[in-house]
Amino acid sequence: MPCITLPDGSQRHYPQAVSALRVAEDISPSLAGNSVAARVAGRIVDVGALIEEDAALQLITSGDPEGLAILRHSCAHLLAMAVKTLHPDAQVTIGPIIEDGFFYDFACEHSFTPDDLERIEALMRELATADLPVTRRVVPGDEAIALFERQGEHYKAELVRAIPEGEAVSLYRHGSFEDLCRGPHVPRTGLLRAFKLTKVAGAYWRGDARNPMLQRIYGTCWADAEALDAYLVRQEEAARRDHRKLAADLDLFHFEDSAPGSVFWHPKGWTLFQQLIAYMRARHDAAGYVEVNTPDVMDRALWETSGHWLNYRDHMFTTVTEDERVLALKPMNCPGAVSLFAHGLKSYRDLPLRMAEFGKVHRYEPSGALHGLLRVRHFTQDDAHIFCTPAQMPGECARTIALIFDIYKDFGFTDITVKLSTRPANRIGSDALWDTLEAALAGALSQMDIPHRLNPGEGAFYGPKLEFVLRDAIGRDWQCGTLQVDLNLPERFDIAYIDADGNRARPVMLHRALFGSLERFTGILIEHFGGQLPAWLSPVQAMVLTISEGQDDYARHVQRALRQAGLRTGIDLRNEKISYKIREHSLQKLPFLLVVGDREKAEGRVSLRLRGNTTASSLELPALVAHLCREARQPGLDIAPLN
């Protein structure tokens, strides 16, 4: 006679095993109609699963985050059913959920087109409207293999073969379609009301280029039509803000097949990039960092000691010299920082030692994963490694967290989520050591009263980390900064300092990146601002425009005055109508347009048009220079240096 305890503390007793759906029906028919799954004794299960003993029960609806994930997973199965109905010879492979949606990979002779997606989506709607019941059964592995082989689903059979021998296999069916899946899933297809297929792309089986190429169909699914419509509007806005399109319009950078995953920076783009570095250097100076630089290529032995060779080898570019030395382009800056610390004797009086580096790193990313500045193979990290005593560790963690939040505020990011990523399965160091390091990060957040989410198993192989996720102007989340605490690398490299008693002591090593990748952060900024960068970041801050040739000398005088004040200023002396010039430079999203005609020349004034404004104001040249200097001042310059 199970006793069911509900979230409000109330209890319900049943004479025999009962499903979560039956409990929902007893509470409210509308709750039962909207329930997609249930959490029973802390585990999420199908809403139809039987509860045979006393348990806590929470019903999950489509409005819950877990419910939305289940909707999307079930929608992937609906997609597979529709494809199999239209293309019976297609083989289904895997269909997981992803951020804001799902995908399913198919092996199919027919090449899917946008028209195909429309037909598939229409059939999905018919199947959803049919409100087909979704049922689960568990079978032995060999029975599942035989089933999928009979159906010609060889990829599914391969997936089942990878399941440990003796472990039961769960299958989900709606209508005539049955798929391999752990679940849970919605109890009926009628709960899938708001979805859309978005695109088709290629993908290798198991992500390995040595395997067959499959066709991947992407889709999105939401709890209701309003949420779906809002998402599609965001996607349209995201397409308008795409940093690759804006980079072409604004002449910032480009990519070529001759250097896959590496950026060709144009002058204006490189100016923007250097402004980010200048800003971070100023913040580093104020926060007590010293800047260093380490080699791009280092011997394999260093990477073996650090653990990267064992844990990160597949992502590293390597070469062998004539004398058979194996060298690797650095994928991370950490071992170089350790080598710097190890050079020469260090005392406790030297700590904390905060070493910053704008280090170029190289990581092999699959070709299909490359995406403009957001996913590259060659990039710059605003890295820093802080070496401190164990007693200094909590303070250094708190100081770094405060710096990260303050820097993001300067760029207009105020909605920030912090994730604590804990020990991964593939790691170095003892559990006791990981306990200490994870507690240090959690303690710093608690002390600063900063809420955080747990991200189990996603830490680096050498230590746990905090991940800082920024929400941009159109509601997208970007993981940027990280903070990691590490006692493993100091131990593996056997580095030490001399403590107050004259003994060797092991330092704590903090790994810290604020922008993360400068390339990626640049892409995020371009999209966040829609190309309308703040005046202090804009590659060209002001453009001087003449109405006719008679003002050329005065326009050059204005440009010189602005440049002498440190403003990045261009000039347009072309024999074109002023309306044409204004329109052309407005499309370049420049913060300030400065128009000079005969009246301005005679009076020593300038007509100022601000970005986005159709009206202009007239200022005397000295007042204009002072005003623009204030408007374009780099933030963070007034911060007092750390004592």
Q: Which one of the listed residues 136, 185, 363, 512 is annotated catalytic?
A: 363
Number of H helices, E strands in the chain: 20, 35
The pLDDT of residue 258 is 93
Catalytic residue among 243, 284, 465, 476: 465
In this model, does residue 178 exceed pLDDT 70? Answer: yes
Distance CA 218, CA 112 (A): 12
Confidence of residue 638 (pLDDT cuts 50, 70, 90): confident
C-alpha dihedral (107, 111, 116, 117), degrees to nearest 10: 60
- 244-265 residue pLDDT tens: 999 999 999 999 999 999 999 9
Per the annotation, the verdict on 465 as an active-site residue is yes
Residues sharing a CB contact under 8 Å with residue 522, sequence separation 6 or more, in sequence order? 243, 269, 272, 273, 276, 373
Amino acid at 299: D
pTM, to two decimals: 0.84
Specify whether 557 is catalytic.
no
Consecutive H or E run containing 73? helix 65-86
User: Does the annotation flag 378 for ligand binding?
Assistant: no
**H/E segment holding residue 588:** none
Q: Is residue 627 a known part of a binding site?
A: no
Q: Is 174 annotated as a binding residue?
A: no
- Out of 181, 334, 388, 480, the active site residue is 334
> Residue 157: its pLDDT value, please?
95
For residue 63, give the nearest of 55, 71, 75 by alpha carbon.
71
Check residue 377 and give its pLDDT. 95
Region of 484 on the Ramachandran plot (φ > 0 left; ψ -120 to 50 alpha; else beta): beta
Q: What domains can be seen in the chain, in order of their start residue? A: 3-61 (3.10.20.30), 66-239 (3.30.980.10), 249-295+345-524 (3.30.930.10), 542-631 (3.40.50.800)
- Is there a catalytic annotation at residue 520? no
Candidate list 46, 116, 179, 383, residue with the active-site label: 383
Catalytic site includes residue 511: yes
Give me the percent of the chain exceeding a pLDDT of 90: 85
Going by pLDDT thresholds of 50, 70 and 90, the confidence category of residue 150 is very high
Digit-coded pLDDT (tens) for 314-350: 899 999 999 989 999 999 999 999 999 999 999 999 9
State pLDDT tens for residues 414-452: 999 999 999 998 888 888 888 888 988 999 999 899 999
User: Which of the following is catalytic: 174, 362, 375, 385?
Assistant: 385
Tens of pLDDT, residues 260-299: 999 999 999 999 999 999 999 999 999 999 999 999 999 9
480 is catalytic: no
Name the pLDDT band for 640 (thresholds 50, 70, 90).
confident
pLDDT per position as a tens digit, 460-504: 888 899 999 999 999 899 999 999 998 889 999 999 999 999 999
Alpha helices in 565-614 (DSSP H): 578-587, 598-603
Predicted pLDDT of residue 268: 97
370: confidence class by pLDDT, cuts 50, 70, 90: confident
Instruction: Tell me the pLDDT of the chain averaged across its residues.
Output: 93
CB 35 within 8 A of CB 25: no
pLDDT value, residue 643: 59
